[in-house]
């Protein structure tokens, strides 16, 4: 599994007008709906339900919201870079500006966990996060993300 198989170029966005965690979750759902074929309402509800179990902001400005959804056949991702960070109840209490959301089939087990681990490892790289924050082109962000692990593995 690699990020290129989880993240399509159309699933990468730069968003300027998000002002709260709830609005960010809705923005993630707006990006994910056409990719998954599911409604924004269902995606928003699933993400909010997962967030109620504990925040998915893991620190240093990065969040990894995720949900299991019926109707999916495989794990899919969406990446959002915010122009202005928002409070996301992250473990370090810092606002987030890099968000990688994952969506997995309801019955997925290890595939979902492997995807979460891959994204988490990738976004814990401070050099990569610096490059992501320095770029404002969705295609460049996609390339940075999908080539990051491959370069580290080489």
The torsion of the CA quartet 92, 143, 141, 99, rounded to 10 degrees, works out to -40
Output the pLDDT for position 1. Answer: 77
pTM of the model: 0.92
Mean pLDDT, consecutive 10-residue stretches, the chain (154 aa), reads: 90 92 94 93 94 88 93 92 93 94 88 89 94 95 83 43
Classify residue 114 by its DSSP letter. Answer: H
Output the pLDDT for position 153. Answer: 43
Output the pLDDT for position 149. Answer: 55
Query: Which among 66, 81, 112, 149 is annotated as catalytic?
Result: 66
Instruction: Specify whether the CB–CB gap between 129 and 60 falls below 8 A.
Output: yes
Q: Which tokens hold the place of 73?
A: 């056949």
Output the pLDDT for position 58. Answer: 87
For residue 42, the tally of other CB atoms under 10 A from its CB is 17
Reference 115, options 128, 130, 100; nearest CA is 100
Output the pLDDT for position 20. Answer: 92
Output the pLDDT for position 37. Answer: 92
Output the pLDDT for position 151. Answer: 45
Output the pLDDT for position 126. Answer: 95
Q: Where are the domains of the chain?
A: 3-153
Output the pLDDT for position 113. Answer: 86
To 5 degrees, how large is the angle CA 90–CA 96–CA 6?
100
Instruction: Report the CATH fold assignment for 3-153.
Output: Mannitol-specific EII; Chain A (3.40.930)
Give the pairing of strands 57-59 and 62-63: antiparallel
Q: Is 112 a catalytic residue?
A: no
């Amino acid at each position: 599994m690699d990020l290129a198989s989880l993240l399509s170029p159309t699933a990468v966005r730069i968003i300027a007008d998000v002002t709260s965690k709830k609005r960010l979750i809705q923005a993630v759902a707006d990006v994910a709906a056409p990719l998954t074929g599911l409604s924004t309402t269902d995606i928003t509800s699933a993400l909010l339900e997962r967030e109620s179990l504990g925040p998915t902001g893991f620190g240093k400005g990065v969040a990894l919201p995720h949900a299991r959804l019926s109707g999916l056949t495989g794990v899919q991702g969406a990446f959002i870079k915010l122009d202005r960070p928002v409070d996301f109840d992250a473990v370090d209490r810092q606002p987030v500006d890099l968000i990688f959301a994952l969506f997995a089939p309801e019955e997925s087990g290890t595939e979902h966990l492997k995807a979460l681990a891959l994204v988490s490892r990738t976004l814990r790289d401070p050099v990569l996060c610096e490059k992501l924050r320095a770029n404002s082109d969705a295609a460049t962000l996609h390339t940075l993300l999908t080539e990051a692990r491959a370069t580290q593995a080489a």
